[in-house]
């Protein structure tokens, strides 16, 4: 289960004041659940996912993910949590352009302590329509192909928490919906938590639960 209470994230605004980037009074998601995180641009969706992943320490509040109490972890333990448990599909693919597709995926796996066989990687690539592209350099792929590799880079870790930040924003409708199909299939198979930030109506419609970070409430 994920449970969050009184989560607040403030940033300095440059004038010595604080800017409230995120306020989540209460949020919960049952084991293996999935939810869309929505709200207009600037309302705190990315900040929320950063807090959940342990990338960002909130100003105050409590985040529990399964038996992990994030605020009790030291920075090193938070890194360990991220490496072992979290798969993050960032808004931009952020592949390492000097590495091949396979190397990008292997690097991510190794950070989670996994050493997948070539077969596992080629099977995953086929599933997302990128068969035979193992040795292609990251920036020799189209935007849609890069985003699919970025999804594989997240799932090769076998995460129990999969976070996706506006994963369809840079994709055309067909590629966007194809990526969502893959993500939802993975979630079903793995039974992991899936939180997806978006304001894309077509993506929102595919999720049973929606949480609006601007309202600080489930819709
Ligand atoms: N590192 C940061 N420093 C200062 N302000 C930030 C930082 N990151 C985000 N913000 C501010 O926090 C608010 C929420 O941002 P963000 O979480 O990126 O929103 P969203 O993803 O919904 O567009 C915005 O006002 C943004 O300008
Ligand atoms: Mg964002």
Ligand lying nearest the CA atom of residue 45: 1
In this structure, the number of other CB atoms found within 10 A of the CB of residue 15 comes to: 7
Residue whose Cα lies nearest atom 3 of ligand 1: it is 11
Residue 2 near residue 193, CB atoms below 8 Å: yes
Nearest-atom number in ligand 1 for the CA of 44 is: 17
**Residue 193: pLDDT band by 50, 70, 90 thresholds?**
very high
DSSP conformation letters of 40-66: STTSSHHHHHHHHHTSS--SEEEEEET
Which residues in 58-76 are b (16+ Cβ under 10 Å) and which e?
bbebebbbeebebeebeee
| Position 175 pLDDT exceeds 90 | no
Q: What is the pLDDT of residues 11-22, one digit of tens each?
A: 998 888 999 999
- Return the residue matching tokens 């352009």: 97
Ligand lying nearest the CA atom of residue 47: 1
Give the phi and the psi of residue 24 in degrees, each rounded to 5.
Answer: -120, 95
Residue 195 near residue 11, CB atoms below 8 Å: no
The pLDDT score that the predictor gives to residue 139 is 86
- Return the residue matching tokens 């980037």: 21
Name the percent of the chain lying above pLDDT 90. 87
Q: For residue 19, what are the β-bridge partners?
A: 11
Residue whose Cα lies nearest atom 5 of ligand 1: it is 11
Query: pTM to 2 decimals?
Result: 0.95
Question: What is the rounded CA–CA span in Å between residue 68 and residue 65?
Answer: 5
Q: What is the pLDDT of residues 81-105, one digit of tens each?
A: 999 999 999 998 999 999 999 999 9
Instruction: Determine if residue 191 is left, alpha or beta; phi over 0 gives left, psi from -120 to 50 gives alpha, anything else beta.
Output: left
- Which tokens hold the place of 29? 């998601």
Q: Which H/E stretch holds residue 218?
A: strand 217-218
Strand (E) positions, the chain?
Answer: 2-12, 18-29, 34-38, 60-65, 68-69, 86-89, 161-165, 193-197, 210-212, 217-218
The strand pair at 161-165 and 60-65 is best described as: unpaired
Ligand 1-lining residues (CB < 6 angstroms): 11, 19, 21, 39, 41-47
The pLDDT score that the predictor gives to residue 7 is 97
| Position 9 pLDDT exceeds 90 | yes
- CATH number for region 2-218: 3.40.50.300
CA of 80 to the centre of ligand 2 (A): 24
Question: What is the rounded CA–CA span in Å between residue 67 and residue 84?
Answer: 14
Q: What is the pLDDT of residues 123-144, one digit of tens each?
A: 999 988 899 999 999 889 998 8
Residue whose Cα lies nearest atom 17 of ligand 1: it is 44
The pLDDT score that the predictor gives to residue 202 is 93
């Amino acid at each position: 289960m994920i449970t969050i209470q009184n989560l607040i994230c403030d940033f300095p605004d440059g004038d010595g004041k604080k800017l409230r980037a995120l306020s989540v009074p209460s949020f919960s998601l049952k084991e293996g659940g999935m939810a869309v995180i929505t709200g207009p641009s600037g309302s705190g969706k990315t900040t929320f996912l950063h807090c959940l992943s342990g990338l960002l320490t909130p100003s105050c509040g409590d985040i529990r993910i399964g038996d992990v109490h994030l605020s009790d972890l030291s920075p090193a333990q938070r890194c360990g949590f991220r490496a072992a448990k979290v798969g993050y599909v960032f808004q931009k693919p952020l592949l390492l352009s000097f590495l091949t597709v396979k190397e990008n995926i292997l690097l991510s796996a190794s950070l989670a302590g996994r050493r997948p066989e070539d077969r596992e990687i080629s099977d995953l690539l086929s599933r997302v329509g990128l068969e035979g592209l193992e040795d292609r350099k990251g920036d020799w792929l189209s935007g849609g192909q890069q985003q699919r590799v970025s999804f594989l880079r997240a799932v090769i870790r076998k995460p129990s928490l999969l976070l996706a930040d506006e994963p369809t924003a840079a994709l055309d409708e067909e590629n966007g919906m194809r990526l969502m199909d893959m993500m939802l299939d993975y979630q079903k198979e793995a039974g992991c938590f899936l939180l997806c930030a978006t304001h894309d109506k077509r993506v929102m419609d595919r999720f049973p639960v929606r949480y609006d970070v601007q309202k600080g409430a489930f819709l």
